[in-house]
Amino acid sequence: LPLPLPVIMVLFFTSTAVSPSVVIYMGKDKVENEDLIKYAYPNDIWFHVDKLSSAHVYIRLPEDGSITWEAIPQNLLIDCAQLVKANSIEGKSAVGAETISERCDPGNKKDNLTIIYTPADNLKKTGDMAVGQVSFHNDKRVKRIHVAKRENPIVNRLTKTKVERVVDHEQDRIDRLKRENSERRLAANDKKKADLELARAREAEKAARSYDSLFNADDEYEYQSTRGKSVKEIEEDFM
């Protein structure tokens, strides 16, 4: 019998720092980090405490591109940075804790932390790395935000939105790719339809110009043929 797939628990939070709201997520424990790294969306942004153990926290930016990773609103950055700080660990491990408060060890109490963040597709994972350990394809695509201290109102607001869910990452990936392919086909069909309508409009405009030119030529001929003639001569032309 095939081995059962591991149960992957993911914690989802909702940030209302921007409108519409944005999803922030993280693994329940560090064992989920590998799957989060592997299956992150192209529009996911990864956050982590610099030079300390912490949860891998992700922002899922809107798919419409209304927020780019280079210009994430400051309030949204602060929300995510506070969530990372609340789950930072220094010294002993808090793996297996069930809630944010249980996972908060000395790293959570440590002030003046630097949080690093980068697009998920910039994460580099090699076979010799430990669980949860990553490097970057391009260090220039890594940004930093300073967190002076824990802001309990922010952490509490985010904690109230927490939803714990079992995620089948492979099925989620398949569904996402199907959805993206469908959206691309629809966009391609819409473009084809728009191009066809534009071509028809141009043909109609071209035909109208040719028709007008024909009548203008006839008018010019009639004008030239009557120049210098008396009224009587013109009348005789019609007889």
- Same-domain pairing of 123 and 156: yes
Residue written as token pair 């002993």 = 92
Low-confidence residues of the chain, pLDDT below 70? 1-7, 89-109, 168-170, 172, 176, 180, 183, 211-239
Strand partners of residue 28: none
pLDDT tens, 50-100? 988 888 999 999 988 889 999 999 999 999 999 999 988 653 333 333 334
- Same-domain pairing of 99 and 141: yes
- Same-domain pairing of 214 and 127: no
Single-letter residue type at 102:
E
Q: Are 60 and 41 in contact (CB under 8 A)?
A: yes
DSSP label of 28: S
Measured CA distances, 54 to 19, 49, 113 (Å):
28, 6, 11
Phi, psi of 196 (to 5 degrees): -65, -45
Model pTM score = 0.68
Which among 141, 167, 193 is the end of a domain?
167
- Same-domain pairing of 25 and 55: yes
Which among 133, 167, 201 is the end of a domain?
167
Task: Output the pLDDT for position 212.
Answer: 65
Single-letter residue type at 225:
S
Q: CA torsion sign, 27 to 30 to 35 to 39?
A: positive
Buried/exposed code over 14-25 (b: 16+ C-beta within 10 A; e: otherwise): bbebeeeebbbb
Q: Are 45 and 22 in contact (CB under 8 A)?
A: no
Kindly state whether residue 229 falls inside one of the protein's structural domains.
yes
Domain that holds residue 38: 9-167
Q: How many domains does the chain have?
A: 2
Kindly state whether residue 172 falls inside one of the protein's structural domains.
no
Kindly state whether residue 2 falls inside one of the protein's structural domains.
no
- Same-domain pairing of 162 and 188: no
Long-range contacts of 69-73 (CB under 8 A, 24+ apart): 69/45, 69/117, 69/118, 69/119, 72/45, 73/17, 73/18
Task: Output the pLDDT for position 235.
Answer: 56
- Same-domain pairing of 15 and 100: yes
Kindly state whether residue 3 falls inside one of the protein's structural domains.
no
Kindly state whether residue 4 falls inside one of the protein's structural domains.
no
Kindly state whether residue 106 falls inside one of the protein's structural domains.
yes
- Same-domain pairing of 109 and 204: no
